[in-house]
Each structure stands twice: as structure tokens, then as C-alpha cells.
Amino acid sequence: MDRLKIDEPALAGAALADFTLAEDPWPLFAAWMAEAERSEPEDPNAMALATAGSDGLPDVRIVLLKGADRGGFVFYTNVQSAKGEELAQNPQAAIVLHWKSLRRQVRARGAVTRVTAEEADAYFASRHRDSRIGAHASRQSRPLTDRPTLMAEVADLAARYENAPVPRPEHWTGFRIEPVAIEFWQNGEYRLHDRIRFTRAGAGWSRSRLYP
């Protein structure tokens, strides 16, 4: 699995005793993600991504979080996919990460922008070669006659780039969700959960505790 990039030092263990006292969402997120990477059996960076096009009808799917820093949450995709087209029409999104082993969730929402070409190139180059070829072969979200058709295209591309680097396709890049709100949820007995929400306030954040 490609390594998730988190540019934030984790909180000290003592600070995690009561997460609702955290003053900054980013170190808290880094600490929770680090714990999830140790406890979740597979894809701790899996997150539900919700978008809506110009018709206002919401859509949701699971994608992989590939970076998180004070600039936002980053994922990569084909811009010609359904989510790519919806983000072109309405560049806003919401995400949720759910870690069942820890009984925790993190939610966020905000405006979406594309990462730089340099960022997209660097991440694409880090992917497995077969995944890079797959990014060329897949017309994501478009009708496919059958699987052999797809695999034939993959084989043709593999032959074409057999002795050459696989370049990043123009239709493939990353998106950054710049959150205006981030919520942390911890399961509690009898559904008396702990919830705190950070809301963007100028250059910083305001924090509020929420009823379960």
C-alpha cells in the first residue's frame, strides 16, 4: 500500500487522555491516524467521500486519503470520473473516516481545489507500475462491455511502456479538501458519545463540544 503522508507531529500520549481538550485539530488527527495505522487490519486511510453535482443530488464512495496537513486532506482520482465531474460543477466535498477497531470517526467538509502538477507527478511516480498503467487504461465511471476489454487495454499499455517510464495521464490528478469544519467522534457507552467540532475562525479554529 502507498504510504499515507501526514505532515504533523503526533500528540504526546498524555495529551490523548482527553481528546476533547485539544486546541488544534491537526495534531489530534495525526495522533488518531497513527493509532489507526497500528490497529486497523486494512486501509486505515479509507474514507467516504461525498460530492454533489449541479443537480444537487449527493453521491458518495470510498477513496483513500493520501495526504493530510494544515492545507487539507488529499486524495487522487481520474478527473473524468463521476466524482471528478461533480467536483468540477460544485467544488465542495465532505469526508468521514471510520475506524471500527478504535470506535472512532473523523468528519470534515470544505472547498476543494486541485493539487499542483508537481504534487500529482510526485505521487503518481510513487505508485506501483501496474497501478500507473491502470490509470491510463481505465475510463473511470464510463460503461465497460466486459472485463476482457479492460484487460486487453492494460496489456497493450504495458507493452507500449515496457521500456519507458509510465507518465501521469492528464486526466489523473489530486484534490485537496480545505476544511471549514473537522469533527472528532469517540464511541461512548449507552450511545453517550464524545464529540468535538473545530470550525475555521480566521487563521485559527474555534472548538465546541457537541451532544452525542
Q: Which residues are annotated as a binding site for FMN?
A: 61-66, 76-77, 83, 105, 140-141, 185, 195
Annotated binding-site positions for substrate: 66, 123, 127, 131, 191-193
Active site residue 191: yes
HSE-CB for 188 with a 13 A CA cutoff: 9
> Going by C-beta distance under 8 Å and a sequence separation of 6 or more, which residues neighbour residue 141?
78, 80, 81, 82
**Residues annotated as binding site?**
61-66, 76-77, 83, 105, 123, 127, 131, 140-141, 185, 191-193, 195
Q: Given 132, 191, 200, 207, which residue is catalytic?
A: 191
- Dist CA 15 CA 18 (whole Å): 7
Q: Tell me the CA end-to-end span of the chain in Å, nearest whole number.
A: 34
* 33 close to 68: Cβ distance less than 8 angstroms: yes
Among all residues, which ones are annotated catalytic? 191
